């Protein structure tokens, strides 16, 4: 049964709801649809599943872009109503005929909707009945056809065996094909082929060519037996005469005396004396510097392009392809497809995941279809402007996450602000944790590190080195300990010492590693951190979707809480190595909905900055 159907404008004004239905929806499916689909350019699929306590809804919608209207239908997911799509299109057609922008009351549409609903339900019932009636008839026909074919095949087989020599070669070839067709259905292909072989000597010869020779099988067995015997004898000999594995010796160059083993690891007791503090002299972090975006370089490139003969044709990747398309009254999907295909290819060259690029193009097409094109406006420029607006909406954080403000709020409650760094192997979690610690130090925030990577060799020593350089206390328990308990003890220690922030370093883990993902979920559930940061490489392409989606899925599935903690923010590393391949930022934000809070762009402690949305969008569409 249909739970609700409503019509509202893109500005949020509700024009009409079905009073007959009047079912009180559990939760807020409409608000969730607007927040997570319509505003974040996920409207290309036209279907959304919403889970609420005690209910599971499916929402379907359609747009009228010229009038700016949205039509949404809500129903129980378990029902699988087949007439919803047809009903939405019929409601859209009828309502747009009576729509007036100055009008607010549409009570007279109730009767029209009642008729449309009955008509859609009747069509669905007729379709179901026709399918149910058609199924047994088709099955009986198929069975009769097969049986008849089997009988014919048997008769033809007998006739071919009796008088195969009297027919000419063409007839034999035709009967051979037909007979093989029937015998395949009844698993008697070998009998049919034997009948043909007896009837004709030529066919018998051809069959013998394709047949398997038993003598070859005997030869293969003998060869295999010899190989097995030799293998067994070799294994016995190896057991009887075991040899010690020779250890690899160090190479000696030019008869020089052997050197002692290289080991520059400082002991824990004297570490503070041997390493100088250099972080204090590295200056201001790039997080506190405003990035100035200048278009001088782009203008210079354009001038160079105009001045040179071979590049004079490249005025723009849209205009060069669609210069002839302009002046369409209403945009149709076929008009948008060439521009969207070029746009998708362009996004993929910028390292955007293919799945994300395709969904974005579908969403832009849904928002432009049916709109009127202004005079002297090209379709290419319209699509590019729509995509630019969509990218800005996606990359702009939906909620403000001000770490410094939250740290001071936690300090007033006399508890530390806990940040957990998670991610796959080798992305730079420990290094960027030190950068975040340095940035917090610049704002007079006391920081403590927690070495919860008890899995990787050298992880504790690496974090200990950063702590000594930054003169930050570190809580460690060594290796092969429970990371969740280490983090819990670190938070208790920070509470006693009065530390403002606890930065928890975790082991790198692949998204498919079940034991390590279970340990991470336990750490998050037990300690309930204030912020869960996913550390990801800016170099990653399609794998960004898999990493983030599976991390979120595992955190949700393995959580014991009804409201599981998911990834709150993203830290992009190695951003200085990708040139214009900035698509990983878009892929990660789109798939998770979490904002990019930090961007690592170098090897020193100051190389940490904010994400500039305008720069990313300009680079993606350049």
pLDDT tens profile 273-307 = 444 454 445 777 777 776 655 444 344 334 333 33
What pLDDT does 44 receive? 67
Kindly state the average pLDDT of the residues 380-395.
89
Kindly state the average pLDDT of the residues 484-509.
93
What pLDDT does 326 receive? 46
pLDDT at 385 over 80: yes
Rg (CA), the chain: 35
pLDDT tens sequence across 199-254: 444 444 444 444 455 555 555 555 555 444 444 444 444 444 445 556 666 666 66
pLDDT band per the 50, 70, 90 thresholds, residue 256: low
Lowest mean pLDDT, pick from 322-326, 374-378, 599-603? 322-326
Pick the more confident residue, 394 or 41.
394
What's the gap between Cα 248 and its chain centre?
Answer: 45
Partner residues linked to 76 by β-bridges = 57
Kindly state the average pLDDT of the residues 82-87.
86
What pLDDT does 33 receive? 85
Pick the more confident residue, 42 or 156.
42
Please choose, from the candidates 222, 164, 228, 153, the residue with its C-alpha nearest in 3D space to the C-alpha of residue 192.
153
- Asked if 367 and 333 touch (Cβ cutoff 8 Å), the reply is no
Q: Compute the residue count for the chain.
A: 622
**Mean per-residue pLDDT over the chain, rounded:** 75
What pLDDT does 295 receive? 46
Pick the more confident residue, 314 or 604.
604
- Asked if 577 and 602 touch (Cβ cutoff 8 Å), the reply is no
Lateral strand order in the sheet of 447-451: 474-475, 447-451, 501-505, 417-423, 531-537, 569-573, 596-600, 608-609
pLDDT at 495 over 90: yes
Q: What whole-number distance in Å separates Cα of residue 214 and Cα of residue 48?
A: 62
What pLDDT does 222 receive? 57
Kindly state the average pLDDT of the residues 506-512.
89
What pLDDT does 407 receive? 93
pLDDT at 265 over 80: no
What pLDDT does 166 receive? 47
Please choose, from the candidates 28, 61, 31, the residue with its C-alpha nearest in 3D space to the C-alpha of residue 44.
61
Kindly state the average pLDDT of the residues 257-274.
48
What pLDDT does 143 receive? 44
Pick the more confident residue, 316 or 324.
316
3-state secondary structure 126-187: HHHHHHHHHHHHHHHHHHHHHHHHHHHHHHHHHHHHHHHHHCCHHHHHHHHHHHHHHHHHHC
Question: 129-133, 265-269, 388-392 — which one is most confidently predicted on average?
Answer: 388-392
Kindly state the average pLDDT of the residues 550-568.
87
pLDDT at 102 over 90: no
Pick the more confident residue, 455 or 198.
455
pLDDT at 39 over 80: no
pLDDT band per the 50, 70, 90 thresholds, residue 23: low
Pick the more confident residue, 309 or 409.
409
pLDDT tens sequence across 160-206: 444 444 444 444 444 444 444 444 444 444 444 443 333 444 444 44
Tally of CA atoms within 13 A in the half-sphere of 160 that contains its CB: 28
What pLDDT does 353 receive? 87
Kindly state the average pLDDT of the residues 587-596.
89
Please choose, from the candidates 469, 449, 473, 445, the residue with its C-alpha nearest in 3D space to the C-alpha of residue 279.
469
pLDDT tens sequence across 521-535: 999 999 999 999 999
pLDDT band per the 50, 70, 90 thresholds, residue 81: confident
What pLDDT does 251 receive? 66
pLDDT band per the 50, 70, 90 thresholds, residue 466: very high
pLDDT at 22 over 70: no
- Asked if 446 and 499 touch (Cβ cutoff 8 Å), the reply is yes
Q: What whole-number distance in Å separates Cα of residue 526 and Cα of residue 559?
A: 10
Kindly state the average pLDDT of the residues 134-148.
46
User: What percent of the chain lies above the pLDDT cut of 90?
Assistant: 24
Q: What whole-number distance in Å separates Cα of residue 466 and Cα of residue 450?
A: 12
Lowest mean pLDDT, pick from 284-298, 310-324, 354-368, 587-601? 310-324
Q: What whole-number distance in Å separates Cα of residue 267 and Cα of residue 565?
A: 38
379-395 helix and 333-349 helix, angle to the nearest 10 degrees: 50
Pick the more confident residue, 562 or 440.
440
Partner residues linked to 6 by β-bridges = 17, 72
pLDDT band per the 50, 70, 90 thresholds, residue 331: confident
pLDDT at 475 over 50: yes
Is the pTM above the cut of 0.85? no
């Amino acid at each position: 049964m249909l739970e609700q159907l409503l019509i509202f404008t893109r500005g949020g004004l509700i024009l009409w709801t079905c009073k007959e239905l009047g079912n009180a929806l559990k939760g807020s499916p409409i608000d969730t649809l607007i927040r997570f689909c319509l505003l974040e350019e996920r409207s290309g699929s036209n279907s959304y599943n919403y889970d609420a306590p005690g209910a599971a809804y499916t929402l379907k919608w359609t747009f009228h872009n010229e009038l700016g209207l949205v039509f949404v239908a809500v129903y129980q997911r378990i029902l699988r109503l087949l007439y919803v799509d047809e009903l939405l299109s019929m409601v859209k057609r009828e309502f747009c005929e009576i729509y007036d922008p100055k009008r607010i009351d549409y009570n007279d549409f109730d009767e029209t909707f009642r008729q449309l609903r009955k008509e859609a339900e009747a069509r669905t019932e007729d379709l179901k009945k026709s399918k149910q009636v058609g199924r047994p008839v088709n099955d009986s026909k198929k069975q009769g056809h097969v049986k008849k074919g089997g009988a014919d095949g048997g008769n033809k087989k007998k006739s071919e065996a009796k008088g195969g020599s009297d027919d000419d070669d063409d007839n034999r070839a035709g009967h051979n094909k037909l007979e093989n067709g029937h015998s395949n259905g009844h698993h008697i292909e070998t009998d049919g082929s034997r009948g043909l072989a007896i009837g004709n000597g030529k066919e018998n010869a051809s069959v013998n060519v394709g047949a398997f020779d038993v003598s070859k099988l005997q030869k293969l067995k003998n060869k295999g037996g010899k190989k097995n015997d030799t293998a067994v004898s070799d294994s016995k000999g190896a057991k009887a005469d075991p040899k010690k594995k020779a250890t690899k010796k160090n190479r000696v160059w030019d008869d020089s005396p052997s050197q002692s083993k290289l080991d520059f690891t400082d002991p824990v007791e004297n570490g503070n004396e041997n390493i100088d503090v250099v972080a204090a002299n590295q200056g201001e972090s790039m997080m506190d510097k405003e990035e100035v975006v200048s278009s001088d370089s782009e203008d210079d490139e354009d001038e160079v392009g105009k001045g040179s003969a071979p590049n004079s044709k490249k005025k723009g990747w849209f205009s060069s392809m669609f210069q002839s398309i302009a002046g369409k009254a209403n945009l149709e999907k076929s008009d948008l497809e060439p521009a969207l295909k070029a746009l998708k290819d362009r996004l993929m060259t910028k390292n955007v995941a293919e799945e994300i690029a395709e969904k974005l193009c579908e969403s832009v097409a849904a928002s432009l279809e049916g709109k009127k094109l202004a005079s002297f406006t090209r379709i290419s420029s319209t699509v590019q402007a729509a995509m630019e607006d969509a990218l800005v909406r996606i990359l702009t954080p939906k909620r403000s996450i001000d770490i410094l403000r939250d740290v001071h709020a936690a300090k007033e409650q006399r508890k530390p602000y806990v940040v957990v760094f998670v991610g796959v192997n080798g992305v730079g979690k420990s290094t960027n944790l030190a950068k975040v610690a340095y940035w917090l130090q610049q704002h007079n925030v006391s920081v403590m590190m927690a070495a919860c990577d008890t899995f990787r060799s050298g992880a504790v020593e690496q974090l200990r080195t950063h702590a000594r350089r930054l003169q930050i206390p570190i809580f460690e328990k060594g290796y092969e300990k429970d990371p969740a308990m280490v983090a819990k003890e670190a938070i208790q220690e920070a509470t006693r010492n009065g530390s403002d922030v606890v930065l928890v370093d975790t082991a790198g883990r692949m998204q498919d590693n079940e034991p390590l993902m279970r340990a991470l979920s336990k750490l998050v559930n037990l300690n309930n951190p204030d912020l869960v940061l996913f550390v990801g490489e800016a170099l990653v392409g399609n794998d960004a979707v898999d990493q983030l989606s599976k991390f979120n899925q595992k955190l949700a599935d393995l959580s014991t809480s009804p409201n599981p903690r998911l990834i709150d923010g993203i830290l992009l590393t190695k951003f200085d190595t990708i040139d214009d391949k900035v698509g990983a930022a878009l892929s990660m934000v789109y798939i998770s909905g979490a904002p990019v809070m930090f961007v690592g762009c170098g090897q020193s402690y100051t190389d940490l900055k904010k994400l500039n949305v305008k720069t990313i969008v300009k680079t993606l569409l350049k």
